[in-house]
Structure 1
Amino acid sequence: MKSRPLQPAVPETDAHGRPFSPAHGDVYHPHGGALAQARHVFLAGNGLPRRWQGRERFVVLETGFGLGNNFLALWQAWRSDPARCERLHLVSIEMHPLPRAALSTLRRDPELAGLAAQLIAAWPPLVHGLHRLVFDDGRVELLLAFGDVQDWLPELVLQVDAVFLDGFAPARNPAMWSPELMRQIARRCRVGATAATWSAARPVREALAAAGFAVERGAGIGGKRDITQAVYAPVHVETRLPPGRPAPRAVEREAVIVGGGLAGCAAAFALAQHGWRSTLLDRHPVPACEGSGNPAGLFHGTLHGEDGVHARWNRAAALEAQRAVAHAIETQGVPGSAQGLLRLEATLAPSAMQALLDAQGLPSDYVQVLDRAQAAARAGLDLPAAAWFYPGGGWVAPARLAAALLTQAGEAVRWCGGVAVDRLERHGNRWHLLDAQGTTLAESGTVVLANAHDALRLAGSTLIALDSLRGQISGLDLARLPEEARLGPRLPISGHGYVLPAIDGRLWFGATAQRGDPEPALREADHRHNLAQLQLLSGRPLPIEAAACTGRVGWRCTAPDRLPLIGAWPDEALGIGPLQPRAVPRLPGLFAFTGLGSRGLTWMALGARVLAGWVCGSPAPVEASLLDAVDPARFLSRAARRERSLSPPRGGPARG
């Protein structure tokens, strides 16, 4: 899906004091009030709260977030219901979201004021994409899809229990009520899902009926005689699931995760938020001893002119990482900062950088352009170039973050260190994880391979490739350096290499990237390489010998296309293909979360949410096209496309 620059809403007030959209010439809610409409039309019209009672999860789709009143009323009703579902999800699409400042000035019903304050505090940057906001310890999730509803509906991966059809009047905004839109909604509904809207327009009812809904009238509110209510009851039930479909959920909510690095710990935490228990197996006695064992690392978004899948994935991941890291710093005391990062620009002038930023419509709370002087002032160093400033980027200690994730998961995770998984065997509907002696270490219907490149061996893969990159970072004890060689960057700086702010009197920088290099020992040549990069970043000569450096060596696991592997493992025994990853058959209950490479800190939080959504069957936190981009099955589909392109045309080989 192509990103489009957002045009934020600029609501005014009409003669009756109601919020009014000058762009659509319509009010956001009737004279009777937003809360009354939300409760009568959208809650009662969908049989809530009765219909969610006793359920594990309940998923609501909304076609216009507007001012957020429907979400606040839904959330309040969930909180007030002692028989509520375990988890509530609202996926809401909004083409013209309000800026945080405008959202904070809205007059709310006193009953909703406290919840509205939490919504404002969590409000994301106005960037095209799917934004995940969580409340009540993760039991309430709001997925905000910023962009056009016609673009978003085909990309949403979810199974809907109730629909809030809320937009400006059909006469003023007909695209939001079209028959095709209702068909797209129906494709994401479970049989028996309900829909409700304040509109009683005949074309709306006819469009719902044509999409497979049984439509009826309901009593109106606020001077309206009728509202529309509907139940999804198609004559012919489609057997296919939505694009990028989640796997069917297991009956038992427990999993075994192989690999206790940052990916495995993040996966365990994400599953715990869905009510799952996990057993975490690792060959080391404590978490994060390998690639996640560096003293610190950085995280940040990216920006590309084409805004393709890499840029969109990195942007969504960086926003999720910022929330996760900031929470760990604040609540768990994890060393780090989510207060900004500078990425030096090697080729573009500041004017060209700004033109690219303006063309994509990215807001200043996601990324800013700083000329050389501005960047130097921000960094506290005489930098050699202009820079992109990512306000939500930063650094963190990976091992401490991994430990914090396990602490937050609590009793939902059982750590089993010092054990090596030699092979997987499937017996009936369960996976058995065996050591080299054939002893069963654990068994489960659901297994997650979060053990870097070794995931290929356990899965018996021959069609998927992962690279192992040796990386050496370097460290300097600043107290032992002469004054002219001491650096004190105020925030992380990246470009060709990176340098972090001093941590406990030590400066960390790097790093090398050597494919297929198994050498575990530190090398002076690599320290010299890192020092040369540090000199370029700092913009001044540094009289430092490689012998003064300490460091650490680790291996990064990367895929050839520089995107992670996240999702259900393909059944390679069936060969390559189909041409679309989402159609590839899967090994039941086997999942991957690997290939995080040098962006593990940026990708871990979103990747874990994608994995957990797939395992548990909850709404995916990214669009279907991004799921395809990180799906392990993409390599089988690419092989199928290559084979098709090389096959001779029908009727035999071409004549020479």
Structure 2
Amino acid sequence: MKTAPIVAARIERSPEGLPFAAAFGDVYHPRAGALEQARHVFLAGNGLPERWRGRARFVIAETGFGLGNNFLAAWAAWRDDPQRCERLDFLSVELHPPSAADLVAWPRDPAVAELAAQLHAQWPPLTHDLHRLSFEGGRVTLQLAFGAAAAWLPEWVARIDAFFLDGFAPDRNPAMWEARLFKSLARLAAPGATTATWSAARAVRDALHSAGFEVDKAAGSGGKRDISVARFAPEPSTRSARSTPPGRPRVRPVEPRALIVGGGLAGCGAAWALAEQGWHCTVFDRHAEPASEGSGNPGGLFHGIVTPDDGAHARWFRAAAFAFAPLARAALADGVPGAIDGLLRLEYELPDLAAMCERLARLGLPPEYVQALSPEAASARAGLPLRDPAWLFTQGGWISPRGLAAWLLRRCAVPAEWRGGTAVQGLQREGEDWCLLDGSGGVIARAPTVVLANAGDALRLLGASDAADWPVQPVRGQVSTAPAAGLQLPALPLAGAGYVLPPVGDRAVFGATAQRRDLDAAVRLSDHEENLAKLSRLLGSSPLPDASTLQGRVGWRWTALDRLPLIGAVPDAAAAGVGSADQPRLLPRHEGLFMFAALGSRGIAMSVLGARLLAAWVTGAPAPVGASLMDAVDPARFAARSRRKGLSSTRAAPAAE
């Protein structure tokens, strides 16, 4: 997906006192009021609240978020309904979202004023991303896609029960009413999905009909005679073509219970995210306490990244940073060691500050996410002299990964069971269940759903032998620690060629080495010396301790060849694919078997986003990232690439004589 800078809406006041979009020459809602339109057109027009009653989940998608009045009306109706669905997911897209100041400035109907204040408090930076906001303890979610609807609708991975079509008038904003947009709605529509819009234009009704919707007129309100309502009813011959590909999440009619192998940050995060969806989890680990291996360091960094092309890596880690920051603040407030005051990453490649600022302007990255600082400004933030300019990731920081993992287990909305001291030696399918086996082949536990969150050991349980399909390897890392007294440590975490944290208690924490396929568990003097060299480059002339006086810890970060994690349903190499099966989503999967592994050196930063994506795979909830990012982290991506290469070689081979 190609990103672009997001331009905030320019909202003026019309002569009638209504919010007016200068770019489109149209008002955001009629004189009768935004709440009246939302209730009559979009809620009643979609048969709500009646249709969501008794449902575990109901999903609404909207074209044109505007000032958020339709979302607030739906949320208020959900709150007021004693028979409401368990979870309400609302997806919306907006090309020109309001600034935080504009969102607060416009008055709200008293019926939704308190909800509007909660929306204001979570309003995200204006970046070309899918922003997930959570309310009501996770039972109401809002996924805001900033950018063009034509670009975002194909990226949504969800099954939609009701559509709110609320763009500006077709003659003012024709891009929101194109026929191809309605084709995208049809791809997303769940069986029996409904649609409502205030527009009764013939072109709109025809486009809905051609996309497979049965369209009717209904009485309007607020001076408007008619509105359009529709129900998705495609021709029988096209229904099979719309079935969910094997490599996409779907709702499975199974008991909401999962067995999770691995009690590090990935496993504990998976349990927390699944509990957010109402699932009960049992976490198995060979150690007695959570996060005793790769997640056991005293502290670690979290932040986004900036790249020239804003490709998959940059978009994934930016989305991860936005997802992690609210949870980090809650964990820190609850006593988990760490800080979220920002993080400085030294820039060694771009020639000067002007080049850094040009990159931010070209990518449209706002200061709420990242800022470019001169050496002098970076020094002021760090509290010590720095020689290089730096990126300031304003929502970055450091945290104890072990403390975070334990906190996630405690915060599970549905209590998770911890089974420490339990080594899982085997995995096998028996009927509808997956069985976890001990060393003698006995069954430890069984369930229809298993999540492998045990880093490289997941490949052993899967019997993975094809290096082309599973190019994952361990990277040994040694962290060094020393007494903080006598060292001039930064006020913020400082990264570049290595990293150093602010004081962690009375210790300095810095490092780290990176040795591929090195399985030596011993703390090495040579690695302490390497870490001191990195620290010297970060801190300049600050006096450093003797390497022989340092303490350290060794861990392994399992990393995929492309440095992205493995998150999703496990591919079934033995089964036949769909068509050529050269795309991850087309490859068949093992029913009920998922993985969350290969988090690499940025496991803390991606733990929340990755866990929620894993939960979407397991439960069929709307994915918290777009389809292109799902493909980028799909465990089947390497197998799909191998098949593409094979198909390419076959096509290129000369014909036999």
Query: TM-score, structure 1 length as denominator?
Result: 0.97
- 1:350-499, aligned counterparts within 5 Å? 350-409=353-412, 411-462=414-465, 463-479=469-485, 481=486, 486-499=487-500
* Greater mean alpha carbon deviation, residues 615-624 or residues 576-585: 576-585
Give yes or no for contact 2:265–2:295 (8 Å, CA) kept in 1. yes
Q: Which residue matches 1:51?
A: 51
**1:652 shift after superposition:** 2.3
- 1:193-592, aligned counterparts within 5 Å? 193-236=193-236, 237-239=238-240, 240-241=242-243, 245-330=248-333, 332-348=334-350, 349-409=352-412, 411-462=414-465, 463-479=469-485, 481=486, 486-574=487-575, 578-592=581-595
Q: Which amino acid aligns with 2:184?
A: Q
Give yes or no for contact 2:278–2:414 (8 Å, CA) kept in 1. no
**1:191 shift after superposition:** 2.0
Query: 1: CA distance between counterparts of 2:649 and 2:232?
Result: 45
What SS does the corresponding residue of 2:111 show, helix, strand or coil?
Answer: helix
What SS does the corresponding residue of 1:457 show, helix, strand or coil?
Answer: helix
Give yes or no for contact 1:452–1:595 (8 Å, CA) kept in 2. yes
**1:411 shift after superposition:** 4.8
What SS does the corresponding residue of 1:292 show, helix, strand or coil?
Answer: coil
* Greater mean alpha carbon deviation, residues 235-244 or residues 575-584: 235-244
What SS does the corresponding residue of 1:275 show, helix, strand or coil?
Answer: coil
RMSD (Å), alpha carbons: 1.3
Query: 1: CA distance between counterparts of 2:93 and 2:221?
Result: 24
Give yes or no for contact 2:278–2:413 (8 Å, CA) kept in 1. no
What SS does the corresponding residue of 1:59 show, helix, strand or coil?
Answer: strand
Residues 410 and 627 of structure 1, relative CA distance in 2, 3 Å threshold: closer
1:620 paired with 2:623, answer: yes
Query: 1: CA distance between counterparts of 2:417 and 2:534?
Result: 42
**1:106 shift after superposition:** 1.2
Query: 1: CA distance between counterparts of 2:119 and 2:428?
Result: 46
Q: Which amino acid aligns with 1:573?
A: A
Query: 2: CA distance between counterparts of 1:52 and 1:27?
Result: 30
**1:645 shift after superposition:** 2.8
Q: Which amino acid aligns with 1:351?
A: A
Q: Which amino acid aligns with 2:437?
A: L
* Greater mean alpha carbon deviation, residues 269-278 or residues 230-239: 230-239
Query: 2: CA distance between counterparts of 1:574 and 1:85?
Result: 37
**1:626 shift after superposition:** 0.5
Q: Which residue matches 2:96?
A: 96
Query: 2: CA distance between counterparts of 1:623 and 1:411?
Result: 27
- 1:59-70, aligned counterparts within 5 Å? 59-70=59-70
Query: 2: CA distance between counterparts of 1:339 and 1:126?
Result: 20
Q: Which runs of 5+ in 1 are unaligned?
A: none
**1:650 shift after superposition:** 6.4
Residues 456 and 575 of structure 1, relative CA distance in 2, 3 Å threshold: farther
* Greater mean alpha carbon deviation, residues 520-529 or residues 569-578: 569-578
Q: Which residue matches 1:149?
A: 149
Query: 1: CA distance between counterparts of 2:317 and 2:261?
Result: 25
**1:465 shift after superposition:** 2.4
**1:157 shift after superposition:** 0.5
What SS does the corresponding residue of 2:138 show, helix, strand or coil?
Answer: coil
Q: Which amino acid aligns with 1:494?
A: A
Paired residues, number: 648
* Greater mean alpha carbon deviation, residues 459-468 or residues 6-15: 459-468
Give yes or no for contact 1:382–1:540 (8 Å, CA) kept in 2. no
Query: 1: CA distance between counterparts of 2:126 and 2:167?
Result: 19
* Greater mean alpha carbon deviation, residues 265-274 or residues 543-552: 543-552
Query: 1: CA distance between counterparts of 2:647 and 2:95?
Result: 39
Query: 1: CA distance between counterparts of 2:656 and 2:457?
Result: 41
Instruction: Write the deviation string for residues 252-279 of structure 1: whole angstroms up to 9, x where unpaired.
Output: 1000000000000000000001000011
Give yes or no for contact 1:250–1:616 (8 Å, CA) kept in 2. no
Give yes or no for contact 2:67–2:98 (8 Å, CA) kept in 1. yes
Query: 1: CA distance between counterparts of 2:63 and 2:208?
Result: 14
**1:653 shift after superposition:** 4.9
What SS does the corresponding residue of 1:628 show, helix, strand or coil?
Answer: helix
**1:150 shift after superposition:** 0.2
Instruction: Write the deviation string for residues 194-229 of structure 1: whole angstroms up to 9, x where unpaired.
Output: 100111111111111111111111111111001111
What SS does the corresponding residue of 1:293 show, helix, strand or coil?
Answer: coil
Query: 2: CA distance between counterparts of 1:622 and 1:353?
Result: 27
Query: 2: CA distance between counterparts of 1:551 and 1:384?
Result: 28
Query: 2: CA distance between counterparts of 1:126 and 1:242?
Result: 32
Instruction: Write the deviation string for residues 118-154 of structure 1: whole angstroms up to 9, x where unpaired.
Output: 0011111111010000000000000001110000111
Give yes or no for contact 1:470–1:516 (8 Å, CA) kept in 2. yes
Q: Which amino acid aligns with 1:200?
A: A
**1:546 shift after superposition:** 0.2
Give yes or no for contact 2:186–2:212 (8 Å, CA) kept in 1. yes
Query: 2: CA distance between counterparts of 1:123 and 1:410?
Result: 24
1:11 paired with 2:17, answer: no
Q: Which amino acid aligns with 2:60?
A: V
Query: 2: CA distance between counterparts of 1:313 and 1:341?
Result: 18
Give yes or no for contact 2:482–2:545 (8 Å, CA) kept in 1. no
**1:541 shift after superposition:** 4.5
Query: 1: CA distance between counterparts of 2:630 and 2:28?
Result: 34
Give yes or no for contact 1:3–1:128 (8 Å, CA) kept in 2. yes
Query: TM-score, structure 2 length as denominator?
Result: 0.97
Query: 2: CA distance between counterparts of 1:574 and 1:82?
Result: 46
Q: Which residue matches 1:130?
A: 130
Query: 2: CA distance between counterparts of 1:287 and 1:341?
Result: 27
Give yes or no for contact 2:162–2:194 (8 Å, CA) kept in 1. yes
Structure 1 runs (4+) greater than 6 angstroms displaced: none
**1:478 shift after superposition:** 2.2
Give yes or no for contact 1:461–1:572 (8 Å, CA) kept in 2. no
Instruction: Write the deviation string for residues 415-451 of structure 1: whole angstroms up to 9, x where unpaired.
Output: 1010111111101111011001122111010100000
- Give me the identity figure in percent: 56
Give yes or no for contact 2:275–2:414 (8 Å, CA) kept in 1. no
**1:648 shift after superposition:** 5.8
Give yes or no for contact 2:244–2:250 (8 Å, CA) kept in 1. no
- 1:629-644, aligned counterparts within 5 Å? 629-644=632-647
Q: Which runs of 5+ in 2 are unaligned?
A: none
What SS does the corresponding residue of 1:88 show, helix, strand or coil?
Answer: strand
